């Protein structure tokens, strides 16, 4: 009898231990799921917000190629950017819309996009720069500009000639004309000259944001931008 009782006690202890182990496994599993969920939430919250692939929301006669705003605006903001630069995409999704709303629509500022393709992002950086100017020929620079930033999700594959022509189709442009423009390398010299100008000015990173000739220390700092704009307005 004592032997049977001892045997049952041992089995009960083993069952209890197994039950505790199973509970421990469940707890670890649930904790892992929670950690993964938090990581995903943080990752998605830190991703640049989506860019609207649409024409600029300003009056039509204030959109002239790669310049947006009243031609007579007292303040000029130059945005020296690379379409494969994640920081440029972030600037385009966060700061540029504020500039449009606060300063461009009110006629105080005009925004000039300046090509600064980085060799570290080659060949897509140069390909996309040339393609944006080919889209400019069709009056669709800013719309195509937004689509190019979205293509970062595909890496270099988003900036092959086939992809660049496909974006033209998506946007209702003449894709054959864009292909011919790219094939002829019509804008290679212009893109190279722009990049060389950026380097000659001492710009070493993208985005470099210049307000009335004054490069910003922090392109994301709206307080700094406001101060520079106000200085240009004489405020």
Over the chain (235 residues), the average pLDDT of each successive run of 10 is 51 53 46 36 41 82 97 98 98 97 98 98 98 98 98 98 98 98 98 98 98 98 98 94
Distance CA 158, CA 178 (A): 16
Report, at the CATH architecture level, how domain 60-233 is classified: 3-Layer(aba) Sandwich (3.40)
Calculated CA dihedral for residues 110, 115, 120, 124, nearest 10 degrees: 110
pLDDT at 214: 97
pLDDT at 13: 56
pLDDT at 56: 84
pLDDT at 235: 87
Which residues have a Cβ under 8 Å from the Cβ of 195 and sit 6 or more positions away? 115, 116, 117
- Read off the tokens for 135: 């889209």
- Read off the tokens for 36: 């993964």
Distance CA 222, CA 216 (A): 10
How would you classify the pairing of strands 75-81 and 109-115?
Answer: parallel
**pTM for this entry:** 0.79
Q: Which residue, among 93, 173, 96, has the nearest Cα to 137 in the 3D structure?
A: 173
pLDDT at 50: 58
- For the chain, the domains span 1-46, 60-233
Half-sphere exposure in the Cβ direction for 173 (13 Å, CA): 30
pLDDT at 97: 96
pLDDT at 172: 97
DSSP assignment string, the chain:
-HHHHHHHHHHHHHHHHHHHHHHHHHHHHHHHHHHHHHHHHHHHHHSPPPPP-S--SS-GGGEETTEEE-TT-SEEEEEEE-TT-HHHHHHHHHTHHHHIIIIITTTSEEEEEEE---GGGTTHHHHHHHHHHHHHTTT-HHHHHHHHHHGGGGGGGGGSHHHHHHHHHHTT--HHHHHHHHHTTTTHHHHHHHHHHHHHTT--SS-EEEETTEE-S-TT-HHHHHHHHHHHHT-
Distance CA 53, CA 64 (A): 18
- Read off the tokens for 32: 């892992």
Q: How large is the C-alpha radius of gyration of the chain?
A: 27
């Amino acid at each position: 009898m004592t032997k049977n009782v001892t045997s049952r006690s041992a089995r009960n202890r083993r069952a209890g231990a197994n039950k505790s182990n199973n509970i421990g496994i469940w707890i670890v599993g649930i904790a892992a799921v929670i950690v993964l969920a938090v990581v995903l939430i943080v990752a998605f919250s830190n991703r640049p917000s989506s860019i609207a692939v649409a024409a600029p929301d300003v009056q039509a006669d204030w959109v002239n190629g790669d310049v947006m705003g009243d031609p007579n605006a007292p303040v000029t903001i130059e945005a020296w950017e690379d379409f494969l630069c994640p920081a440029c995409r972030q600037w385009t999704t966060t700061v540029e819309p504020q500039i449009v709303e606060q300063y461009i629509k009110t006629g105080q500022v005009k925004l000039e996009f300046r090509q600064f393709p980085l060799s570290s992002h080659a060949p897509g950086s140069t390909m996309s720069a040339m393609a944006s100017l080919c889209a400019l020929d069709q009056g669709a620079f800013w719309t195509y500009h937004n689509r190019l930033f979205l293509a970062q999700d595909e890496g270099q594959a988003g900036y092959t000639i086939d992809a660049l022509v496909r974006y033209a189709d998506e946007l209702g442009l003449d894709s054959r004309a864009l292909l011919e423009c790219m094939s002829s390398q019509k804008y290679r010299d212009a893109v190279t000259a722009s990049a060389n100008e950026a380097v000659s000015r001492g710009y070493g990173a993208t985005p470099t944001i210049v307000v009335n000739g004054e490069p910003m220390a922090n392109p994301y700092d709206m307080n700094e931008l406001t101060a520079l704009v106000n200085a240009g307005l004489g405020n």
